[in-house]
Structure 1
Amino acid sequence: MKMALRACLRTKPGLTGLLSQLSCSGHAAARRAPALVAQRSSSSTSQKIKVDFDQSSGVAVMHMQSPPVNSLSLEFLTDVCIALEKLEMDKSCRGLVVTSSQPKVFSAGLDILDMYGKSPEHCAEFWKAVQEMWLKFYGSNMITIAAVNGSSPAGGCLLSMTCDYRIMADNPRYSIGLNETKLGIVAPFWFKDTMVNTVGHRATEMALQLGLLYSPAEALKIGLVDQLVHEDQVLTTATETMTKWLAIPDHARQLTKSMMRKPTIDKLAANRELTKSMMR
């Protein structure tokens, strides 16, 4: 895969620097991305990602459109990071709904073939991109809602868990969970930490060791998803739910989100710095 990741891997304060952002300049002085705010509604499309942004509502919808199953390849992760960074820069964008354009699947997770037989340098860039995607979503200042309109195993489950709220299609044929051990893979610690923060320690321990995939009803029961609706209503319900979240003052919600998530974010950031120092 071609690598354009350096365009999106610029360090930004996100939630970690939120206090200083608010105290120094506030919302009014924030930068805006002209391409996103030039008109009432705008669309930004790459080969694998389509973003529709309605400035009047302040809500964007990110459609994952990488057939057949939205596998998280290096190219896909790069496009996601770039799209999310553009939205973060535009402070008129307050909320983001993430969904899939592919039938019956939200995301099948990491593209294993994008790592198999590749150079150590490529694999390092791949994992750096996975971490960057997680950091950008988990630490986003925006309200993020996952409209899970199909199955979402492994990395797809991780992506949904980075969001503030998860709505899943109530179809027993669909499943969601971190099933890495069934593939002979150990889920990284930040996958584990994200799930612990979502469903608790014991449920996570069972899920990760057994590589469990949950039906929508089972996922709702343990708190892996927050709401089930008919699959034709997933995106509509996400938009309606966003209205409730938008009613909360941004600064209070953002600081509360930071308080809850910053320790987990800092843990991965510290690990990345340690890894860099060991490679020098």
Structure 2
Amino acid sequence: MYQTLRTELADKIFFIYINRPDKMNALNQQVMAELALAIEEVYSNRNIKSAVITGAGEKAFVAGADISEFLTLSTQQGADLAKKGQVVFKHIEDSPKPIIAAVNGFALGGGCELAMACHFRIAATNARFGQPEVNLGLIPGYGGTQRLTSLIGKGKATELMMTGDMINAEEALAWGLVNYVVAPGELLNKAKEILLKIHTKAPLAIAKVIKCTNAALNKDVDGFELELEEFGACFATKDLEEGAAAFLQKRPARFTGE
């Protein structure tokens, strides 16, 4: 089905591998189109409860965009390319099912932007992050200026984007860009461990957490008002009935996502 991705479903976790290791998993238009299809599968497949995005091979998560595609673009074509990327990454960010980035090796440019579009990030000790677009006379175009600023603060984000420097996994952890740093061999196991824990929680509540936390970064949405609405909506769900009953009966809840 996919030419530039490899996917597998295990324990209701959909693993999406960017599969161009000979190109350091660089993003080109085909990768972006296929990634959009894979994310649609996350949304629509009831057997999928969560997803992990990672890179094939040991050197790179995604080492950037395929620069060869940039050389002949006009101003409008460049803006159109960025728009397509932003749409795909926003779809990841808005997924009602959790999507984790498991960052192995280089996450640069569009790769860093892809990781930041996920709900949170786990890094291998060999991970390296950066937005080096200024080295090419560019700026991040897939949402990087906005998400990096939100995640690590304006000062550090501005410095990182203006210098084009890379930071290592431990720096990314200290700056709040990633949640955990683990040995490369433990990367997917850590992602799986967290997601399997999330799978035991109420699916509708998880989706509402994602919706409300995303609203905290959206200037056009009153996040507090949305929280009120979504909190109230929980009371119309069977999951709340089950969760409350399980709590009172001192037993594990059996959520159905209804």
TM-score interval, smaller chain: 0.7 to 0.9
Give, in whole Å, the separation in 2 of the partners of 1:46 and 1:169.
26
On the 8 A contact 2:42/2:50 being kept in 1, the answer is: no
Letter matched to residue 6 of structure 2: K
Equivalent in the alignment of 2:209: 256
Deviations 1:82-134 (A, max 9, x none): 11112211133110011111321110122221121146675454323211221
Does residue 151 of structure 2 align to residue 194 of structure 1?
A: no
Find the partner of 2:191 among 214, 225, 238: 238
Equivalent in the alignment of 1:48: 4
On the 8 A contact 2:110/2:142 being kept in 1, the answer is: no
Cα distance, 1:165 vs structure 2: 2.2
Equivalent in the alignment of 1:115: 70
Equivalent in the alignment of 1:99: 54
Equivalent in the alignment of 1:226: 179
Query: Which aligned pairs between 1:97-246 and structure 2 lie closer than 5 A?
Result: 97-118=52-73, 123-171=78-126, 174-188=127-141, 190-246=143-199
Find the partner of 1:61 among 5, 10, 15: 15
Give, in whole Å, the separation in 1 of the partners of 2:219 and 2:37.
22
Equivalent in the alignment of 2:233: none
Cα distance, 1:211 vs structure 2: 2.1
Cα distance, 1:229 vs structure 2: 0.8
Equivalent in the alignment of 1:11: none
Matched position secondary structure for 1:214? strand
Deviations 1:187-231 (A, max 9, x none): 348322211222222222222222231011111110111111111
Find the partner of 1:79 among 12, 15, 34: 34
Letter matched to residue 143 of structure 1: P
On the 8 A contact 1:61/1:96 being kept in 2, the answer is: yes
Letter matched to residue 173 of structure 2: L
Letter matched to residue 90 of structure 2: L
C-alpha RMSD of the superposition = 2.1
Which protein shows a greater Rg?
Answer: 2
Give, in whole Å, the separation in 2 of the partners of 1:134 and 1:143.
14
Letter matched to residue 146 of structure 2: D
Matched position secondary structure for 1:194? helix
How many residue pairs end up in the alignment? Answer: 219
Identity percentage of aligned residues: 24
Ranges in structure 2 where 5+ consecutive residues have no aligned partner:
221-258
- The 1:263/1:224 distance shift into structure 2, 3 A limit, reads closer
Letter matched to residue 12 of structure 2: G
Give, in whole Å, the separation in 2 of the partners of 1:110 and 1:264.
25
Give, in whole Å, the separation in 2 of the partners of 1:122 and 1:185.
14
Segment of structure 1 superposing worse, 246-255 or 102-111 = 246-255
On the 8 A contact 1:106/1:151 being kept in 2, the answer is: yes
